Amino acid sequence: MKTKPVAIFRHHPAEGAGYFATFLDAHRIPHTLIAIDAGSAIPTRTDDFSGLCFMGGPMSVNDDLPWLPPAFDLIRAAAARDIPVIGHCLGGQLLAKALGGSVGRNPVKELGWGRVDASGPLAAEWLGDMTAFEAFHWHGETFSLPPGATRLLGNAHCVNQAFVIGPHLGMQCHVEMTEAMIHAWSRFWKAENAAPGPSVQTPEEMCREAGARIAAMRDAADRLYGRWIAGLKA
């Protein structure tokens, strides 16, 4: 068992750790929540953590927010020491920008369930024999690949759905979802001002058979998270 906890950064009350925390608990890996939305400060050093996890949020990594520069600094410090970082949606964008990528508007908004396809030389290492799965999406921006990164997932609506760089994993899609989170997020759907279409589902479509869809996505999450925790520092 790892003695140092994984730091989980929450940026919005509705975008917590979800299944990621459940996975860590199942593997007896300690974790601590740092609630940026509740005023917690970004740590200035990485020594106390075995890994860093950044969750989602409605803000942009390009916003003028006081916690963003120290978050970028912490990610770069972790990368310099090979302390694994994992990012979900906004978290993936934080990782990408901290390591030299850029974040901007995606050609379309993605809201709801949609297939992602695995590709590249690291796909088997991170996903085994899985070549595609249905993931949950909620984003209007996306990242470019930072220097040295390898694309892991993509789809027709968003070229870069996930990347790997060393022990770090940045994701645009959400594999951490629980059924309760999907029902909670669907209440924010109108605020997105997005018309239903190929990349946008209605709240009813998102919630339909959510339990079965989440159960199927857990297979992918277990593989991704399982590979990520292999790099945690003692």
**Mean per-residue pLDDT over the chain, rounded:** 97
CA dist 75 and 97 (Å) reads 10
Q: What are 126's strand-pairing partners?
A: none
Quick one: average pLDDT of 210-231?
97
Note the pLDDT of residue 60. Answer: 97
Residue ranges covered by each domain of the chain: 6-229
What digits encode the pLDDT tens for the residues 120-167? 999 999 999 999 999 999 999 999 999 999 999 999 999 999 999 999
pLDDT at 234: 83
Q: Is the pLDDT of residue 221 over 70?
A: yes
Task: Please give the CATH architecture assigned to the domain spanning 6-229.
Answer: 3-Layer(aba) Sandwich (3.40)
Q: Is the dihedral of CA 43, 44, 47, 52 positive or negative?
A: positive
Closest among 96, 139, 92 to 114, alpha carbons compared: 139
- pLDDT at position 71 is 98
- pLDDT tens readout for residues 35-81: 999 999 999 999 999 999 999 999 999 999 999 999 999 999 999 99
pLDDT computed for residue 3 by the predictor: 81
What is the average per-residue pLDDT within 198-223? 97
Determine the pLDDT at residue 67. Answer: 98
